[in-house]
């Protein structure tokens, strides 16, 4: 099965979306009972945390934690947006810098100015997008970012998207000083996220049971195995613990240094997809197959290139004294084991 396919279905009663590329599962979104990233609350400041520069907030869905709280006093209402999923037993991570994001436009109330994605290089296209932006934002003091998906899109669709996000932002900001804690937006579910973020041309299938028909369920089931196979008999294991995610690369029966580098490079190319599909984030430690130190730069280059294409914010931290490589990844998805 060649090409890109977006399948919209349900898993265990929850909305779900899958992106298939040439028959291989590339991305997976499954809803849950947890607050969605992107949800916006009018929260109530509760108590500051000394030494951390943050404050716990009260929301209808439990405690949230906000960093950088200059000028915020206990009892004061504040608009915040969920940035990811909370670790077990911890407060919801939130930010006071709200984003109203759609397929073409992002409204930024706290960051004025008109901006166009740097990936759009054609000056004529940029000029036409700026014209649309100025026309729609003329009476607003909020900021706007036009996303890369604007390239090739119809002008009226872009303008409509801007207006919809402006209206939503205005409605939310108008509720900033209401009484008590309240959820003001739910955040986007998997089907809307698929439309919003998977913008390349694709066949879209929505029939009930399409996950089974297109092989999504079989590939999801395979993710329950910590072992991810590579070519030539090599593989790597991805095992989450309470403290971190451990990744162990093995060359199989070939113990040569050339096999070690080959397995490490293959892992670098495949790792972003595996972490996306498994919903894993936080601290990630790679225990790589043996390779000469002179090959480390080649490995880092491959890893950086792979994560550059990934949708989840990931920081390449670097090498440890023991020769491990560390990453820090945003927790914007629940672990797959928790939603199945």
pLDDT digits 0-9 by tens, 70-122? 888 899 999 999 999 988 889 999 999 999 999 999 999 999 999 999 999 99
Q: What was the pLDDT predicted at 18?
A: 98
Cα dist. 144→132, 184, 202, 219 in Å?
11, 21, 27, 38
pLDDT digits 0-9 by tens, 286-338? 999 999 999 999 999 999 999 999 999 999 999 999 999 999 999 999 999 99
Q: Are residues 234 and 285 in the same domain?
A: yes
Q: Which residue has 């008109």 as its token pair? A: 114
Q: Are residues 236 and 305 in the same domain?
A: yes
pLDDT of 179 > 90? The answer is no
Q: Are residues 86 and 131 in the same domain?
A: no
Strand, coil or helix: 279? coil
Q: Which domain holds residue 232?
A: 225-338
Q: What was the pLDDT predicted at 87?
A: 84
| Mean predicted confidence (pLDDT) in 154-170 | 97
Q: What percent of the chain has pLDDT over 70?
A: 100
Q: What was the pLDDT predicted at 281?
A: 95
> What confidence category does residue 27 fall into, taking pLDDT thresholds of 50, 70 and 90?
very high
Give the Cα separation of 65 and 46 in Å (integer): 10
How far does Cα 22 stand from its chain's mean position?
22
Give the Cα separation of 310 and 296 in Å (integer): 21
| Mean predicted confidence (pLDDT) in 163-177 | 96
Other Cβ atoms less than 10 A from the Cβ of 152: the count is 10
Structure tokens of 288? Answer: 């790589």
- CATH number of the domain that 170 lies in? 3.30.230.10
Structure tokens of 131? Answer: 């014209």
Q: Which of 47, 74, 97 finishes a domain?
A: 97
> Residue 49: inside a domain, yes or no?
yes
Strand, coil or helix: 91? coil
Q: What was the pLDDT predicted at 1?
A: 62
- CATH number of the domain that 44 lies in? 2.40.50
Among 173-182, 183-192, 285-294, which is the least confidently predicted range? 173-182
Ramachandran bin of 233, using left for φ above 0, alpha for ψ from -120 to 50, beta for the remaining angles: left
Q: Can you give the three-state secondary structure of 9-28, one letter per residue?
A: EEECCEEEEEEEECCEEEEE
pTM tops 0.75, yes or no: yes
Q: What was the pLDDT predicted at 257?
A: 82
pLDDT of 250 > 70? The answer is yes
Q: Are residues 105 and 69 in the same domain?
A: no
Name the domain count of the chain: 3
Please, are residues 106 and 144 in contact by the beta-carbon 8 Å criterion? yes
| Mean predicted confidence (pLDDT) in 237-260 | 93
Q: Are residues 239 and 281 in the same domain?
A: yes
Q: Are residues 68 and 146 in the same domain?
A: no
> Residue 18: inside a domain, yes or no?
no
Q: Are residues 83 and 118 in the same domain?
A: no
> Residue 46: inside a domain, yes or no?
yes
Q: Are residues 334 and 229 in the same domain?
A: yes
Among 36-40, 160-164, 229-233, which is the least confidently predicted range? 229-233
Q: Which residue has 């979104």 as its token pair? A: 29
Please, are residues 142 and 107 in contact by the beta-carbon 8 Å criterion? yes
């Amino acid at each position: 099965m060649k090409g890109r396919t977006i399948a919209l279905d349900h898993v265990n009663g929850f909305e779900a979306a899958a992106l298939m590329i040439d028959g291989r599962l590339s991305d997976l979104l499954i809803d849950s009972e947890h607050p969605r990233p992107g949800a916006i609350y009018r929260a109530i400041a509760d108590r500051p945390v000394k030494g951390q520069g943050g404050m716990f907030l009260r929301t209808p869905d439990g405690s949230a934690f906000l960093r950088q709280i200059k000028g915020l006093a206990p009892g004061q209402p504040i608009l915040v947006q969920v940035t990811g999923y909370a670790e077990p037993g911890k407060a919801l991570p939130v930010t006071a810098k709200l984003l109203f994001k759609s397929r073409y436009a992002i409204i930024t109330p706290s960051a004025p100015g008109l901006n166009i994605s740097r990936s759009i290089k054609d000056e004529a296209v940029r000029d036409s997008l700026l014209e649309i932006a100025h026309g729609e934002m003329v009476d607003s003091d909020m900021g706007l970012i036009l996303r890369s998906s604007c390239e090739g899109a119809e002008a009226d669709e872009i303008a409509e998207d801007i207006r919809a996000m402006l209206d939503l932002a205005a409605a939310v900001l108008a509720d900033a000083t209401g009484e008590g804690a309240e959820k003001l937006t739910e955040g986007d579910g998997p089907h809307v996220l698929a439309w919003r973020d998977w913008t390349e041309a694709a066949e879209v299938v929505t029939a009930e049971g399409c996950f089974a028909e297109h092989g999504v369920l079989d590939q999801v089931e395979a993710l329950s195995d910590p072992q991810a196979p590579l070519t030539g008999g090599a593989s790597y294991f991805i095992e989450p613990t309470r403290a971190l995610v451990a990744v162990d690369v093995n060359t199989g029966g070939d113990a040569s240094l050339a096999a070690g580098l080959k397995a490490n490079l293959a892992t670098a190319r495949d790792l972003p997809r595996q972490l996306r599909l498994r919903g894993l984030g936080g601290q990630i430690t790679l225990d790589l197959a043996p390779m000469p130190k002179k090959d480390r730069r080649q490995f880092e280059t491959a890893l950086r290139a792979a994560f550059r294409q990934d949708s989840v914010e990931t920081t390449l931290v670097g090498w440890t004294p023991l020769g491990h490589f560390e990453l820090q990844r945003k927790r914007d998805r629940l672990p797959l084991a928790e939603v199945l």
